[in-house]
Amino acid sequence: MNFEFTEEQKMIQQAAKDFAERELLHDIIERDAKSIFPADRIKKLAELGFLGMMTDPKYDGGGMDTISYVLAMEEISKIDSSTAVVMSVCNSLVNWGLENFGTEAQKEKYLKPLARGEKIGAFLLSEPEAGSDATSQRTTAEDMGDYYLVNGTKNWITNANCASTYLVIAQTHPDKKHKGINALIVDKDTPGITLGPHEDKMGMRSSDTHSVMFTDVKVPKENRIGDDGFGFTFAMKTLDGGRIGIASQALGIASGAFERALKYSRERKAFGTEIFNHQAIAFKLADMAVKIENARNLCLKAAWLKDQHQPYGVMSAMAKQYCADIAMEVTTEAVQIHGGYGYVREYHVERLMREAKLTQIYEGTSEVQKIVISRSLLK
Amino acid sequence: MKILICISNVPDTTTKIKFVNNNTTFDKSGVQWIINPWDELALTRVLDLKDAQAGIESVTVMNVGLADAEPTIRKALAIGADKAIRINADPVDSFQVASLLADAIKKDPYDIVLCGIESCDYNGASVGGMLAELLDMPSVSAISFLNIAGGKVELKREIDGGQESIEIATPFVGIVQKGIAKDPRIPNMRGIMMAKTKPLQVLEPSAANTLTSVGSFDLPKAKAACKKIDPDNVKELVRLLHYEAKLI
């Protein structure tokens, strides 16, 4: 067992930290308040290679391991989760899905520009009535011989507007239930695709979230990923890895809030001394530190298993559930330590608390993760 | 045009400084090391010029340090330097650093040698000038602008109350301050991967003297707590400045 990071991993961690502090911090409060998507910063992040950092260099990616990805995600999320989620969707869901299950022609046409960061991807699974129960897809992909005709609505789609490439999960054979589902690569500018208004969210307000409506959208047959009916398996396998991204995002939200609370506790005085010297505050910080250390170790274990090509689905569910839940706890305590200052925007921790809440909900709620974990205990 | 940037491996600027051995040695434990910020800005500017096809054939970085400096040197390669040289020594003073650099540079000369105006560890601000003297090359200090176009080198340097624009023939030693580049480069994924395979040559040091030895280090006195005075209470401000701070 070796807990040391490599030189490259440390360099990536530092690069992500430098990027977040230099490029994202200065206007995050305004972007959050006004729901402004940081298109210019996403372009820079793409130029640095972060959006395709795990994709094989033969498909123009960075070829980095999942450990590096966790480290980078944590650093970006400490400051701006709305940017981190773009990174997560591109790396863990879209690029990984295409790299592992796409044909060579699909990789050439779609994966390469995504891995280079020239294009952004989105993963369209959730529906108004199919969130945690992803088997109940209402969006249909009717087999018309040489193309699929897609109709339906997808909800809560991250990158919906900025993406060029959609991976759409839709039902082709309703009688076969989840075994009739397909995953299709759809160009966003295909006729028949319309976007709902930008979602006015509680947190991660700077991320680009819309519903997406499909009306008689024609998708060529060659854009199907895998065999007919592979779509549900594709989505579940992809989400196994996606959880590592969101777990590290939650970890970053927690550690970002912790760092701010620790700093504040050493500056703010009450009853004649820095509040860190009061046991009530010091013990809170100790509890937060332990939770964050546990969370980080779970993320890294899941990432390590993935890098070793060992089964990682259960570990990534554990990481996702634990990191999201402690992110909520740690950010709540960070607000408490800041007192009144924690409740105003200037001190960032209230935003981190709002962001933490989403990590318990999206890419599989904490409850869904517990289904995955508990079912594994019975095997 | 061959360009060399001399880089120092220095503690991160947020490091809490501690000394050991009766305050004669800087405590390196737990310290995060970085490229000296002025050196990093010089490297950034040169790489920008190389990308802009300014006629730069190669960009080399050189460091005087032990093997533990290599992560910092690799970062310079990740940012975009073509190759790196580490002179394997733990230098004691600026003269030793300048001598070791000069001996190595004489064997493999460069058209432009750049140094940061100072390093943010001991802030000696003397290696650049010494290096130029030891190399018998002209030097320009406090450079805040560098451009290379059509084989011509243009510099701007800060002078009292203004700026001086210079055109200079190579070879020369340039001593660089902030302003030469806005922000240091962040390495990209490809750069980080390639840094592993770029050449990092280790040279054994020449026999260079040291001219100084450290008696002891002292930390600055802790700052007194800030006193807040009501904006309407100017009398109290004047009283404190006069009787307590003794500034007026």
* Interchain CB distance below 8 Å, A53 and B187: no
Residues whose CB falls within 8 Å of the CB of residue B50, separated by 6 or more in sequence, listed in order: B56, B59, B80
Mean pLDDT value of segment A320-347: 97
Contact B33, B61 (CB under 8 A): no
pLDDT at site A146: 92
pLDDT digits (tens, 9 = 90+) for A311-331: 999 999 999 999 999 999 999
Q: Residues A182, A187, A190, A196: is their CA dihedral positive or negative?
A: positive
Cβ atoms B6, B119 nearer than 8 A: no
Q: Would you say residue A77 lies in a domain?
A: yes
In this predicted model, what pLDDT tens digit does every residue of A175-192 receive, in sequence order? Answer: 999 999 999 999 999 999
A61-73 pLDDT, tens digit per residue, is: 999 999 999 999 9
What is the pLDDT averaged over residues A211-224? Answer: 98
The pLDDT value recorded for residue A196 is: 96
Q: What is d(CA A283, CA A287) in angstroms, rounded to the nearest whole number?
A: 6
Q: Is B75 touching A (CB cutoff 8 A)? A: yes
To test the contact with chain B by mutation, choose from A4, A5, A14, A267 the residue with the greatest count of B C-beta atoms within 10 A, namely A14
Tell whether A72 and A109 lie within a shared domain: yes
Looking only at the bridges linking them, the beta strands covering B58-65 and B83-88 are parallel
pLDDT digits over A81-116, tens only? Answer: 999 999 999 999 999 999 999 999 999 999 999 999
Query: Chain B within 8 Å of A8 (Cβ-Cβ)?
Result: yes
Q: Does A47 touch chain B (CB under 8 A)?
A: yes
Label residue B178 left, alpha or beta by phi (over 0 means left) and psi (-120 to 50 means alpha): beta
Strands B25-26, A181-187: pairing is unpaired
Q: If you average pLDDT over residues B162-171, what whole number do you get?
A: 95
pLDDT, tens digit, 9 for 90 and up, residues B179-193: 999 999 999 999 999
Across the interface, whether the CB atoms of A62 and B187 are under 8 A apart is answered: no
- Among residues A207, A232, A257, which one ends one of the domains? A232
Q: Is the per-residue pLDDT at A307 higher than 90?
A: yes
Say how many C-beta atoms besides its own lie within 10 A of residue B127's C-beta: 28
In chain B, whose CA is at the least distance from the CA of A6?
B71
B78 touches chain A (CB under 8 A): yes
Let me know how long chain B is: 248
Give A147's DSSP letter.
Answer: E
Q: Give percent of chain B with pLDDT exceeding 90.
A: 74
| pLDDT of B227 higher than 90 | no
Name the residue of chain A whose CA is nearest to B78's CA.
A11
The answer on A342 and A317 residing in a single domain is yes
Tokens for B44? 């950034």
Q: Does the pLDDT of residue B224 top 80, yes or no?
A: no
Task: Give yes or no: residues A250 and A336 share one domain.
Answer: yes
Tally C-beta pairs within 8 A across A and B.
Answer: 49
As a whole number, mean pLDDT of residues A27-45 equals 97
Q: Scanning every residue of chain A, which has its alpha carbon at the shortest distance from the alpha carbon of B76?
A: A11
For residue B12, give the chain A residue with the closest CA. A14
The B residues from 44 to 63 touching A (CB cutoff 8 Å) are none
Last residue of a domain, one of A63, A86, A115: A115
Going by the DSSP 8-state scheme, the letter that residue B17 receives in this structure is P
Nearest in space to A42 (alpha carbons), one of A76, A83, A74, A92: A83
Range of the structural domain that residue A17 is part of: 7-115
Q: Does A163 lie in the same domain as A88?
A: no
**A49–chain B nearest CA distance, Å:** 5
Classify A311 as helix, strand or coil. coil
Q: Give the integer Cα–Cα distance in Å for B147 and A203.
A: 46
In this structure, are A243 and A296 located in the same domain?
yes
- Please measure the distance between the N-terminal and C-terminal CA atoms of chain B and give it in whole angstroms: 56
| Inside any domain, residue A316 | yes
Let me know whether A255 and A355 are in one domain.
Answer: yes
Integer Cα distance of A5 and A304 in angstroms: 12
The pLDDT tens digits for B46-84 are 999 999 998 999 999 999 999 999 999 999 999 999 999
Distance from C-alpha of B105 to C-alpha of A286, rounded to nearest angstrom: 52
pLDDT at A376 over 90: yes
Structure tokens at A299: 């993320």
The residues of A carrying an active-site annotation are 363
Q: CA-to-CA distance for A15 and A4, rounded, in angstroms?
A: 18
Helix (H) or strand (E) holding A181: strand A181-187
Burial of A6-45, coded b for 16+ CB within 10 Å and e otherwise, reads ebbbbbbbbbbbbbbeebbeeebeebbeebebbeebbebb
**Mutant choice from B12, B14, B31, B192 vs A, greatest count of A C-beta within 10 A:** B192
Considering only A119-128, A230-239, A304-313, B239-248, which range has the smallest mean pLDDT?
B239-248
Reduced to 3 states, what is the DSSP secondary structure of residue A32? Answer: helix
The confidence band for A162, taking pLDDT boundaries of 50, 70 and 90, is very high
A94 contacts chain B (CB < 8 A): no
d(CA A242, CA A302): 11
Examine residue A1 and state whether it is found in any structural domain, yes or no.
Answer: no
Average pLDDT of span B79-105: 96
- The distance of A16 to chain B (nearest Cα, Å) reads 9
Q: Quote the pLDDT of residue B122.
A: 81
A268 and A221 share one domain: no
For position A372, what pLDDT does the model report?
95
**Cα separation of B180 and B38, whole Å?**
9
Hey, are the CB atoms on B183 and A22 less than 8 Å from each other? yes
Strands A181-187 and A165-171: antiparallel
Calculate what percentage of chain A has a pLDDT beyond 70: 100
At residue B36 the predicted structure's pLDDT band, cuts being 50, 70 and 90, is very high
Smallest CA–CA distance from B71 into chain A, residue: A7
CB contact under 8 A, A63 and B186: no
Report yes or no: A18 at the B interface, CB cutoff 8 Å.
yes
Partners of residue B193 in chain A, C-beta under 8 Å? 8, 57, 62-64
Q: CA angle, B70 as apex, B68 and B74 as ends, to 5°?
A: 155
Looking at the structure, tell me whether residues A310 and A204 fall in a common domain: no
- What is the mean pLDDT of the segment spanning B188-211? 93
Q: Quick one: pLDDT band at residue A58, thresholds 50, 70, 90? A: very high
Q: Are A119 and A162 in contact (CB under 8 A)?
A: no
Looking at residue B6, what is its pLDDT? 98
Name the residue among B143, B176, B159 with its Cα closest to residue B37. B176
B189 touches chain A (CB under 8 A): yes
The model's confidence at residue A33, banded by pLDDT at 50, 70 and 90, is very high
Q: Does A64 touch chain B (CB under 8 A)?
A: yes
Q: DSSP states of B20-78 as a string? A: ETTTTEE--TT--EEE-HHHHHHHHHHHHHHHTT-S--EEEEEEEE-GGGHHHHHHHHH
Q: Are residues A98 and A138 in the same domain?
A: no
| B105, containing H or E segment | helix B94-107
Measure in Å the smallest separation between the Cα of A19 and chain B Cα atoms: 7
CB crowding A261-298: b at 16 or more within 10 Å, else e: bbebbeeeeeeeeebbeeeebeebbeebeebbeebbeb
CA distance B111 to B5: 11
Sequence-ordered list of residues with C-beta below 8 angstroms from that of B96, at least 6 positions apart, any chain:
B64, B89, B208, B209, B210, B211
Instruction: Please check whether residue A11 touches B, CB under 8 A.
Output: yes
pLDDT value, residue B244: 86
Residue A112 makes CB contacts below 8 A (sequence gap 6+) with A59, A60
DSSP conformation class of A57: G
More confident residue, B130 or B122: B130
pLDDT of residue A199: 95
**Chain mean position to CA B224:** 31
Contacts of A20 (CB under 8 A, 6+ apart): A75, A76, A78, A79, A80, A83
User: Do A189 and A76 lie in a common domain?
Assistant: no
Q: Is a pLDDT exceeding 80 seen at residue B225? A: no
Parallel, antiparallel, or unpaired: how do β-strands A209-220 and B172-176 relate? unpaired
Please report residues of A whose CB lies closer than 8 A to that of B71: 7, 10-11
pLDDT band with cut points at 50, 70 and 90 for residue A156: very high
Instruction: Give the domain CATH number at A48.
Output: 1.10.540.10
Chain B contact set for A14 (CB, 8 A) = 75
Q: Which residue, of A115, A145, A180, is where some domain finishes?
A: A115
- Alpha-carbon distance of A245 to B204, in angstroms, equals 45
> Could you tell me if A345 and A252 lie in one domain?
yes
Mean of all residue pLDDT scores within chain B: 93
A127: nearest Cα among A143, A150, A94: A150
Q: Do B74 and A10 touch (CB under 8 A)?
A: no
Q: Is the peptide bond before B231 cis (omega within 30 degrees of 0)?
A: no
A2 domain-assigned? no
CA distance A52 to chain B (A): 9
The 10s digit of each residue's pLDDT in B141-152 is: 999 999 999 889
- Strands B25-26 and B19-20 turn out to be antiparallel
CATH at residue A351: 1.20.140.10
Residue B174 pLDDT > 80: yes
* Nearest CA distance, B14 vs chain A (angstrom): 13
Instruction: Residue A12: list chain B partners with CB under 8 A.
Output: 189, 192
Question: Is residue A62 within 8 angstroms of chain B, CB to CB?
Answer: yes
Cα separation of the two ends of chain A? 27
Using the Cα atoms of residue B226, residue B229, residue B231 and residue B236 in order, give the sign of their dihedral: negative
On the question of pLDDT at A356 being above 90, the answer is yes
How close does chain B come to A153, measured CA to CA in Å? 36
Same domain, A195 and A297: no
Domain B2-218: what homologous superfamily?
HUPs (3.40.50.620)
Domain count, chain A: 3
pLDDT digits (tens, 9 = 90+) for A230-285: 999 999 999 998 999 999 999 999 999 999 999 999 999 999 999 999 999 999 99
Q: Is the pLDDT at A132 greater than 80, yes or no?
A: no
CB contact under 8 A, B196 and A48: no
Collapsing DSSP states into helix, strand and coil, what is residue B168? strand
Contacts of B123 (CB under 8 A, 6+ apart): none
Residues in A touching B183 (Cβ below 8 Å): 22
Is the CB of B242 inside 8 Å of chain A's CB atoms? no
